[in-house]
Amino acid sequence: MFTGFRRRKKILGLVLLFILTVCFTLVNVRSFGETIMTSAPQLLTDPFLQLPTENSVRVVWFTEFAGSQHTVNYGENLAKTARASTIKLSRTREDQQSRVGNQTANSQVYQQTVNRDIWRHEAEITGLIADSRVNYRVTSWREDGESVSSDVFTLAPKPKPGTPLKILLTSDHQLKPMTAANLQKVVETVGRVDAVWFAGDLVNISDRASEWFDDNRGGAFFPALQGRANYKMTHNGVSTTYTGGQIIQHAPLFSCIGNHEVMGRFQRLESLDDEFNDSFPRAVAQRLYSGKSLKDNSFNTDTYEEIFTLPTSNTGGKRYYAVTFGDVRLVVLYITNMWRTPKLDSPYRGRYNEATADLNNPENWGYGQLIYEPLAQGSQQYNWLEAELNSDEFKQAKYKVVMFHHPPHTLGDNIVPAYTDPVQIIERDDIGNIKAVRYEYPKNNDYIIRDVIPLLESANVQFVLYGHSHLWNRFLSSSGMHFLETSNVGNSYGAAWGDRKREVPDGYQEEYVKQGNPNGLEPIVPNIAPLLGEDGKPTPYIASNDITVFSIFDTETGTVSSYRFDTRKPDSQVVKFDEFQLK
């Protein structure tokens, strides 16, 4: 009896010791409105590179704790140390549509929008030498003294003119199904790239934190570009998991604002999806919300601007800028508008009309595809662009490239209607009641075609990169300027070619083009290995939910090469299908 009691007492003591050990080991941390337990601090992202100069570069990473200290060790034997500055992101949140933690499409954890606390750390690494790569590693200390470090990566300052570079051209990732496969094949095909040019639409909902960091479907923005994705694709019963590519830990990213980087009126509606779709014209907001925050009651790019450290301009800040990188002068413009459905019978506000249910409530109107940043001749952005194109840095560059989001030429749907301010037409009955609100977009007032493209051609720009329509196609103007849209990572909306037509209204004042490129240039058939259509003829585009495309700009030869990979055949080779050269 006594022996059995002692044995039970010993076992109970061991159990209590185990429980106490676990309790003392685990640490409470806050995570987007929940308390979770973790045994050690974690980095929310690997570090990535931003804003290189002739002798420096910024290293940025994120955690879900404020921490007591954050550092970068770099150089030989990682002997040098740089301290990071820290800010807390101001608008990152999760909601009913987040796919994070235990929440899935079938498991609703969040019944409303909740704040998610995320801290950004940035250190400037100085004293660097051109053409010399340096090892680096980041370390973050939590308030309790526990620390976590990244793996060792490499960094370098801005390359000198004459340095051969390989630059990844991409856009519209938006957690689309082929993104991780696409980026994994970039690294497997060309190795380490020297920079990433991203033509907008990085995620779907800019303020939804998990889309940037840890969406549980495995394809969030940072994991895919850092080789930490975990995205499974299944074809014919065979599953392949793609990890993306370890890219931005070693190469700086330069991006532009797409329509998905813009959030609408702040916290007016229940979900982040609704808030994203609630962009409101600044001029109308000034009238309806006098005395209140103009930004909160119209639209903002706060989360995008807080996440990235980009070059800046005097008038546009990070929203539009120019940078010299090796032999290239890259000019980045803020050319995007609010996407609205083209369907005329939709219960929602659309491109061409307002919802019938909201005709008497202008606060709920969408005001058409409103333009976020003025671009027309005489606007602040246009005047800045004109000055930039006349600058010595621009004129002396071997390659002159312009990047923005909205397509000037495309077979995709999003080129219709014209890129201009919507003209509102209100129809009333005999006693003055509103019976319809519709929007026209005069083609002759397309700001990109009328004002910007002639300016670029007169400045001898060789190459214009853009996205938005989720396909690959390219064009060439009579002046020799190349246009490339290389944004096919899934969720393709097809091309207005062959038997397919765009959905456009009939009977409006403007004639909205249903097929082809409305702005005159003919699409170019890929010149190496084009895909064939059902008629057996080569197609001048790739718009597929199975075949993904990426493009590489090789500055040594001045060539832009496009590659495709068929995700239905995971063991197949990447195929170079098109190439052109800048003169």
pLDDT digits (tens, 9 = 90+) for 295-335: 999 999 999 999 999 999 999 999 999 999 999 999 999 99
pLDDT in tens, 410-458: 999 999 999 999 999 999 999 999 999 999 999 999 999 999 999 999 9
Mean pLDDT of 483-507: 91
What's the CATH number for 41-153? 2.60.40
Q: What is the pLDDT of residue 26?
A: 38
* pLDDT band at residue 493 under the 50/70/90 scheme: confident
* pLDDT band at residue 35 under the 50/70/90 scheme: very low
> Average model confidence (pLDDT) for the chain?
93
Distance CA 215, CA 200 (A): 19
**DSSP class per residue in 278-326:** T---HHHHHHHTTTS-TTTTS-B-HHHHHH-----BTTTBTSSEEEEET
Which residues, 6+ apart, have CB-to-CB distance to 23 below 8 Å? none
Which residues, 6+ apart, have CB-to-CB distance to 165 below 8 Å? 159, 194, 195, 325, 326, 327, 328, 553, 554, 555, 556
Distance CA 221, CA 46 (A): 12
Query: Does the pLDDT value for residue 534 go beyond 60?
Result: yes
Q: Compare 142 and 347 and report the one with higher pLDDT.
A: 142
Q: pTM (2 decimals)?
A: 0.93
Mean pLDDT of 551-559: 98
From its phi and psi, is residue 77 left (phi > 0), alpha (psi between -120 and 50) or beta? Answer: left
Tokens of 551: 């493009």
Domain-wise residue ranges, the chain: 2-38, 41-153, 165-262+301-581
Query: Does the pLDDT value for residue 5 go beyond 70?
Result: no
Q: Strand 472-476 vs strand 231-235: parallel, antiparallel, or unpaired?
A: unpaired
Query: Does the pLDDT value for residue 498 go beyond 80?
Result: yes
* pLDDT band at residue 13 under the 50/70/90 scheme: very low
Distances (CA, A) of 92 to 39, 96, 408, 453: 25, 14, 32, 36
Q: What percent of the chain has pLDDT over 70?
A: 93
User: CB of 144 within 8 A of CB of 27?
Assistant: yes
Q: What is the pLDDT of residue 346?
A: 81
Q: What is the pLDDT of residue 33?
A: 41
In the chain, the amino acid numbered 120 is R
What's the CATH number for 165-262+301-581? 3.60.21.10
